Chain A
């Protein structure tokens, strides 16, 4: 088994090595560590506790026998359709930041460049949070990542317009895409960031995204992740976030499609009195697998975290929520809340949900709740008894269930899009 594992990894590496050029923006020692991680640990499979339901190695072996990094000519209409009118739209194509396709940013206090263009002092930040030694998928990205985005909001600047990054992969043959970015919100600055993940071109895609987000003291970063990658997509999204004193980080992840979607959301509440809010909504059908793994690490006192994840599973699909919360010894007066609610729409669908709380401080408030069940038959009967047909009654109930998460979206155009596309999946 071990031999097989390393074989898959080796094939992958050999296939890609000839395609990748030296990545200058990642510190050398991190690249060394990434290669070691891949060689020693291979890609995660179901023997890894964290990937119990999400055997990445087997997916790759089955679906990506050959890998091709040639991408298709781009149909600009695809990007146009995904732009949001009330946001600044940036484009990352096949893992590479495209200045040409991106809108010009006129807001004061923003630095945007490709990772290839960062200064040597900026380079110190890269891979400071997403450590290859913690996860082979971070290692894979570290070794093969594209020329992604470096995005900084300078001290004290409140950016009035949301920034929308569209990650588009455009391929007709099975491909691997490793998008990477670094988002830095300096002290007192504020940004709303939307990240949309889409594919075109008709080829299978293994998309392995890594984002490092650093929120300095008193800063606020409000993120929305919109995942609509289609049935040919197998994706892993890793967010490694560090939140400092009095800073505020939030993310709402909406997953509407993708054959495999694995979200790793790792938050370090690294200084006192900061907060993180994570919300998620997924709807799955067919044989889809959506796996949300969150880790909130309360390191210092007076921090707050809130998690609300909801899922609707149809067909033979599988939904996973695993919420790990660490409350370290120094993290007194921690408030940590977690809730996972799911609806099973068929007998063959599965939901695995697991709260994991490890608490080492004694003066904390932590709570978690989880529920998984069928649609409320009494409510369904009540609606039907008023003349509403079965299908519409179900839709009304599922929309009501989902809206608790969708209503967290404060960007109107995005909320409208999500509502519209969500309704279409029902």
Chain B
């Protein structure tokens, strides 16, 4: 699905990703954990194509294509989806118009005709239920005046509508109460198939009680320093990041 090799990225003079290697196959769920400032959000931004970052080294192959050569929109059209840590409010652009435009642009990219309005609305109705998103929210402006939980559910709703191959969930659990977390997790689990993959980026183990990962990676100072199964997350929860910090701080020096 996606193969990240020796990825280096910096913002200004500051190198944030310092050689990331990661291989995600269809049907898998990977969790990337790490303390603040380890580069988690940078990784998701670089993969989605945010222009603030310079990729200085490495390559990313996504479904056989060189991801880093593609524009942000083409990455999305190829099936990459980033659920934002801080979803953007866009006053004046209705959720529904936004999604219809996005869906049809993705379809056009794959040589498909526009989705008939009736089918589109049926799809909206179906996917809305999945994340228990209030019907009125879809007709409102994108994320405008949404609560934190509504914004996150709206991200998963968009994911459900666009049906990506690879979803990167950037701190989707942050700011969610238990109920919202459960709803978001249910949505993500329901969307999982053997053909798609998910990367969960999170600080806490909490989300992983609801979405069980196949692999857990620990990101520290721009590198994946440890990988393992879901038990690694539990271990991390019990011991905290301090052990990782001391371990890799000392091995580095």
Q: Spell out A's residues near B (CB within 8 Å).
A: 376, 378-379, 381-390, 392-393, 396-397, 399-401, 403-404
Contacts and interface: CB of A to CB of B under 8 A. Distances in A.
A403 B102 contact: no
A386 B93 contact: no
B76 A385 contact: yes
Given A388-B102, A392-B101, A396-B98, A383 B90 contact: yes
B162 interface: yes
Range for the number of chain B residues in contact with chain A: 20 to 34
A384 B71 contact: yes
Contacts of B91: 400
B87 interface: yes
A400 B73 contact: no
A384 B72 contact: yes
A32 B253 CA distance: 92
Contacts, number: 74
A403 to B, nearest CB: 5
Interface of B: 48-51, 71-73, 75-77, 82, 84, 87-88, 90-93, 97-99, 101-103, 105-106, 109, 141-142, 158, 162
Given A381-B50, A381-B72, A397-B93, A387 B88 contact: no
A389 B48 contact: no
Nearest to B143: A382
A385 B90 contact: no
B contact patch SS: helix
A400 B93 contact: yes
B74 to A, nearest CB: 8
Contacts of B50: 381
Contact of A388 (B48, B82, B88, B105): B105
Contacts of A381: 50-51, 72, 88
28 contacts: A376-B90, A378-B88, A381-B72, A382-B84, A382-B87, A382-B90, A382-B142, A383-B90, A383-B98, A384-B49, A384-B73, A385-B73, A387-B76, A387-B77, A387-B109, A387-B162, A389-B105, A390-B71, A392-B101, A393-B73, A396-B97, A396-B98, A396-B101, A397-B93, A400-B90, A400-B91, A400-B92, A403-B92
Contacts of B142: 382
B92 A388 contact: no
